[in-house]
A and B are shown apart, each in its own frame.
Chain A
Amino acid sequence: MATRAFQRLPSAPAGRILVLRLAAIVLSLCIIAGVLALSGHSPVVLAELILRSTLGSRFGLEDLALFMCPLLLTGAAVTVCGTIGLWNIGAEGQFYAGAIAATGVALGLHGPAIMVLPVMTIAGILGGMAWITVPTLARAYAGVNEIITTLLLNFIASLLTYYLTTGPWRDRISGAQVSTQRLSVSIPEMWGIVHWGFPVAIVIVIGLALVLSRTRWGYEIRIGGANPEAARYAGIPVRLRIISVMLLSGGLAGLAGMFEVAGTVHRLQGGMANNFGYLGIVVAVLARGSCLNVIPAALLMALILDSGIVMQTQQLSASVVLAITGLILFMIAIGDELAHYRPVAGATPKGNA
């Protein structure tokens, strides 16, 4: 009998996942290289150019950190929500809501940066929380699928941003399109164009990892995600935990929006969320539910975005990056599933095979 028997394990060993994910990424890169070669680009030249202008240059590294900052927070937002078994696909909208709230503060409140920035931060967090409130309550009290409700709010947030930046808040000074005027305060820079939001985001992610793994609240969240019935039986108020986790998730994404407005873009712009919310899902998937893993995952995602800039200079549309991300996500999803299988050497398939 041929040894083609496989056994599916309930949880996949980390080592196997790492190997299969590497294989998935390599396979995706091969497919991308093949497509590029077919469309008349030289993958080798392009790869060299990408490496040189991302990791090999100061500007590339600064951009990398700037990309990482929102990805860390949106990735953490999706990750904490995933801990209790829910998908927050609306980080994009919460990002806008946070950015809008922070901009509102910056436009209306005049004073020294040391006073305005904290208020903007709080406004950003509250904006993100407010944006996820309806899906949260609908999920907690009526069991309405949160994937669709959070997602639909993304479109509303982006339309609201468009309305504000072309209507009441439009730039009356320099006349920039679909944009507010440049904000008077900004998060101070620490290294080149990298602002202090970047280290703060890393600290937040580490803090979240500690809260989730070391506190009673974090434990209850994890149990609620792993086995809601058991959690309820053990007296954990699952509904309240769902509400708190989803609000926390929205607040994180809102904070990402505030950092982006106050640190990187310096104005509210249509399209400024740049898919960071959606890419946060990819980061969270890569991180496999661990907040600490969000850091390397965000780094990988930022690298992809950073190479996207290079590809744009090579007459490749920016949307290619989204397609590439999709391909990698797809391959990784398959790789993660395959990691559950263990070949059973020499075994004869039993009855049900």
Chain B
Amino acid sequence: MMITLLTGMLATAVLAGGVLALAALGEVLAERVGVTNLGVEGLMALGAVTAVMTVASIPSPWVGLLVAGLVGAAGGMVFAFGAVVMRANQVLCGLATTFMGLGLSTALGHNYAGQPVATTFGHVTVPLLSSIPVIGPALFGQNILIVPIYVILPALVHFVMFRTRHGLNMRAVGENPAAADAAGIPVMAMRFWYVTLGGAMAGMAGGYLTLTYVPVWSEGMVAGRGWIALALVIFAGYRPVIVTLSALLFGLVTALSFVGQAHNWPIDPAFLNMLPYVGTMAFIIVPVVVWHRMRRVMAAPAALAQPYYRDVR
């Protein structure tokens, strides 16, 4: 009984956390080069709706995910045009991107709302590995994207960011763009393309949401997941592997509310649905209060949210 409960919870946690892991990893890329993209929520909504629309005419979840990623990248480029190229206020550009994304996605998805998604990522069972108790079914018995999201992507980002010259350059742009510029690193291009890549990942996170976890489009279905992803990035101290693990931890919080509803806990579902948000608040407040050095250890890139002006020093 306990084992089945645990297995089920972990399976839900892995599914729910995957959406956040993808979006948060994308945001780590953007913030490491010094750009806060508050548009994640909107880009996720756009990705979610375009994935649904795509698979309605082309019945392949891969194409849906690809289109969601491309739309996210396009949205990321729009944001980057304002925040990086034009050097406008990043908070405003981010909020504007979220507004545009949420508004457009609702308008686009009007005819698809409430209908089941045509094709989703099916169950894939990896032989042997999926029979490991508790974690096997969760990691290897669900959809095919789980291993890439939880293992391959974070490992790749970690390797590039901390083990290659390119990663060093990238972090230099986020810490001290003037020095990076002096060393010949193209600050603008670096920022532009990593923000675009982060946007693509946010779009794919939205697509992943509708193609696996919640296979139906409805207005407001992203429900703050983009903001939670942003909070996870802060919580994880801008580190790719930790951000992925905290997304999983966060998936567990979400799974808890499902378990509660399934087992008829004497708590109103509305309160169980608040858990992810309350959990996120606790995630970013409690560690700093408990351990004051946390703020220095997990510090943000020094030039985060500061536009770079070559001509003004």
Chain A residues in the interface with B (C-beta under 8 A):
7-8, 87, 89, 134, 138, 141-145, 147-149, 151-156, 159-160, 162-163, 166-167, 278, 281, 285, 316-317, 319-327, 329-330, 332-334, 336-338, 352-353
User: With a CB–CB cut-off of 8 A, which chain B residues contact A278?
Assistant: 95, 99
User: With a CB–CB cut-off of 8 A, which chain B residues contact A160?
Assistant: 270, 274
- Known contacts A149-B284, A323-B100, A330-B97; 5 additional CB pairs below 8 A are A8-B312, A166-B270, A322-B99, A322-B102, A332-B92
User: With a CB–CB cut-off of 8 A, which chain A residues contact B284?
Assistant: 144-145, 148-149
| A326/B96 in contact, CB under 8 A | yes
- What is the number of contacts between chain A and chain B, taking CB atoms within 8 Å? 144
| A333/B93 in contact, CB under 8 A | yes
User: With a CB–CB cut-off of 8 A, which chain A residues contact B223?
Assistant: 155
Shortest A273–chain B CB gap in Å is 13
- A167 to B107, alpha carbons, bound, how many Å? 31
User: Number of contacting residues on B, CB 8 A?
Assistant: 52
| A147/B91 in contact, CB under 8 A | yes
Selected from B38, B78, B224, B310, the residue in CB contact (under 8 A) with A147 is: B38
| B228/A333 in contact, CB under 8 A | no
Once A87-B91, A329-B95, A333-B93 are accepted as A-B contacts, the answer to whether A156 and B285 lie under 8 Å apart by CB is no
Binds A, one of B82-90, B126-134, B239-247: B82-90
11 pairs, CB–CB < 8 Å, chain A vs chain B: A87-B91, A89-B95, A144-B288, A155-B223, A160-B274, A167-B268, A316-B107, A319-B107, A325-B103, A326-B101, A338-B86
- A320 to B107, alpha carbons, bound, how many Å? 6
Asked if B110 is at the interface of the complex by the 8 Å CB criterion, the answer is: yes
Least CB separation from A87: chain B residue: B91
Once A329-B96, A330-B82, A336-B88 are accepted as A-B contacts, the answer to whether A159 and B289 lie under 8 Å apart by CB is no
Kindly supply a per-residue 1/0 record for chain B positions 248-280, scoring 1 wherever the CB is within 8 Å of any chain A CB and 0 otherwise: 000000000000000000001011011001101
| A153/B100 in contact, CB under 8 A | no
Asked if B175 is at the interface of the complex by the 8 Å CB criterion, the answer is: no
- A206 to B284, alpha carbons, bound, how many Å? 37
Interface class of chain B by DSSP = helix
Once A163-B268, A163-B271 are accepted as A-B contacts, the answer to whether A323 and B285 lie under 8 Å apart by CB is no
- A292 to B210, alpha carbons, bound, how many Å? 45
User: With a CB–CB cut-off of 8 A, which chain B residues contact A322?
Assistant: 99-100, 102-103, 106
User: With a CB–CB cut-off of 8 A, which chain B residues contact A334?
Assistant: 82, 86, 88, 93
- A353 to B309, alpha carbons, bound, how many Å? 11
| B88/A337 in contact, CB under 8 A | yes
- A148 to B289, alpha carbons, bound, how many Å? 16
User: With a CB–CB cut-off of 8 A, which chain B residues contact A89?
Assistant: 95
Asked if B192 is at the interface of the complex by the 8 Å CB criterion, the answer is: no
| B99/A329 in contact, CB under 8 A | yes
| A152/B219 in contact, CB under 8 A | no
- A278 to B42, alpha carbons, bound, how many Å? 14
| A323/B92 in contact, CB under 8 A | no
| A333/B92 in contact, CB under 8 A | yes
B residues 218-249 touching A (CB-CB < 8 Å):
219, 223-224, 227-228, 230-231, 234
User: With a CB–CB cut-off of 8 A, which chain B residues contact A8?
Assistant: 309, 311-312
| B103/A337 in contact, CB under 8 A | no
| A151/B227 in contact, CB under 8 A | yes
Least CB separation from B95: chain A residue: A281
- A5 to B91, alpha carbons, bound, how many Å? 28
| A327/B100 in contact, CB under 8 A | yes
Asked if B104 is at the interface of the complex by the 8 Å CB criterion, the answer is: yes
Shortest B84–chain A CB gap in Å is 11
- A147 to B230, alpha carbons, bound, how many Å? 10
- A337 to B88, alpha carbons, bound, how many Å? 5
Kindly supply a per-residue 1/0 record for chain B positions 281-302, scoring 1 wherever the CB is within 8 Å of any chain A CB and 0 otherwise: 1001100110000010000000
